[in-house]
Amino acid sequence: MPTSTENSHARRHQTEAFPTASRTSPNPASKNGDSSPPRDLFDTPDEDESAGTAHAPAPVVRHASSAAPTVRCPVLSDGAQMWRLARDSGELDVNTPYAYALLARDFADTCRVATIDDEPVGFVIGYRRPESAATLFVWQIAVDPAFRGRNIAGLLLDGLVRDLPDVTTVETTVTESNASSRRLFGKFADRHGADLAESPLFAADDFPDSHDAEPLLTISGLGR
């Protein structure tokens, strides 16, 4: 998927088990990102930043509170901050503000936001595959740069899957160069005792712009 290591479309993800990287899924709108031309968005090799692809403006620097994050379903009013988090990730394919508001309203069941002191500092957006309700495609994951290195991306993924007990498979796409997103999903698979496999999906020629191929990462055997 274009996901970030705490940002995400599954376009760029992380996995320690996979020395490659990619993105997050198709969309009702767009995608995510988390590392640059191999510029890791984190200072630490954790799974805590953004996943996806795109070149956005420099992130806005904020003071990071030490309070523990809380993961919950998004509401429509979270859409604006989700858009800002995607924009400030510097790597995600940024959708329109309208798209994030729509996702927060209509896809809240398969999306989550992480809040600290009641303010959104990260999100994950995904959807169930139309032909397989037990398969969740993770499209984007993003985490505020000021709060990276705290495993917020991992908490978002864990919280989302915990709330969807019928989901047995998670899919995402990650470019070969996105090591941080690959670590994120590799660690997620390890924590859940699941299998992680990689296969071709989107070739570079499938995109109208200059874009790396997006291999598919499939994490199966969840909840067994």
- Tell me the per-residue pLDDT of 165-184, one tens digit each, with 9 for 90 and over: 999 999 999 999 999 999 99
Q: Does the pLDDT of residue 15 top 50, yes or no?
A: no
pLDDT at residue 18 is higher than 80: no
pTM: 0.75
More confident residue, 196 or 3: 196
- How far is the C-alpha of 66 from the C-alpha of 224, rounded, in Å? 35
Q: Please report the domains of the chain, with CATH numbers, ordered by start residue.
A: 2-220 (3.40.630.30)
Within 8 A by CB and 6+ apart from 34, the residues are 3, 4, 5, 6, 7, 8, 12, 13, 14, 41, 49, 50, 51, 52, 89, 91, 92, 141, 142, 178, 180, 181, 184
Could you tell me whether strands 111-116 and 119-129 are parallel, antiparallel, or unpaired per DSSP bridges? antiparallel
Mean pLDDT to the nearest integer, 176-195: 96
Mean pLDDT across the chain: 80
C-alpha to C-alpha distance for 90 and 55, rounded to whole angstroms: 5
Could you give the residue ranges of the DSSP H alpha helices within the chain? 79-89, 97-106, 152-162, 180-191
What pLDDT is stored for residue 62 in this prediction?
54
**Residue predicted with more confidence, 223 or 224:** 223
The whole-number pLDDT of residue 131 equals 95
Q: What is the pLDDT of residues 124-155, one digit of tens each?
A: 999 999 999 999 999 999 999 999 999 999 99
Question: pLDDT per residue over 26-80, tens digit each?
Answer: 344 444 443 333 332 232 334 444 555 344 444 455 556 778 999 999 999 999 9
Q: How far apart are the C-alpha atoms of 82 and 37, rounded to whole Å?
A: 23
